[in-house]
Amino acid sequence: PCAMGRKVSDEYTIPLCRTHHRQLHHSGDEVSWWLSMEIDPLSIAQDLWQESQRWRTRFNLKRDEPVCMSFASGSVAIACVG
């Protein structure tokens, strides 16, 4: 596995259920998979990130404290941003 030990920034992370996470990895082509799902992942990731930063400010959370929030947008229900 060439990606072992690498973690994308939470700024670009979208939570997926186990089934869709597996489908995504088994597809072998992330861009095509998102297109087939008719989801714009960058737009959703940006919305989640911006909302998490508002929560971080509102509750005066430190950078290393996770933010868990409810965010209903299509198939995304809960997001925890570290």
Kindly tell me if the per-residue pLDDT of 50 is higher than 90: no
Rounded Cα distance between 65 and 68, Å, is 10
> Quick one: DSSP state of residue 41?
H
The predicted pLDDT at position 33 comes to: 93
pLDDT tens profile 12-44: 888 888 898 999 999 999 999 999 999 999 999
Q: How many Cβ atoms are within 10 Å of 79's Cβ, its own excluded?
A: 22
Question: What is the average pLDDT score of the chain?
Answer: 76
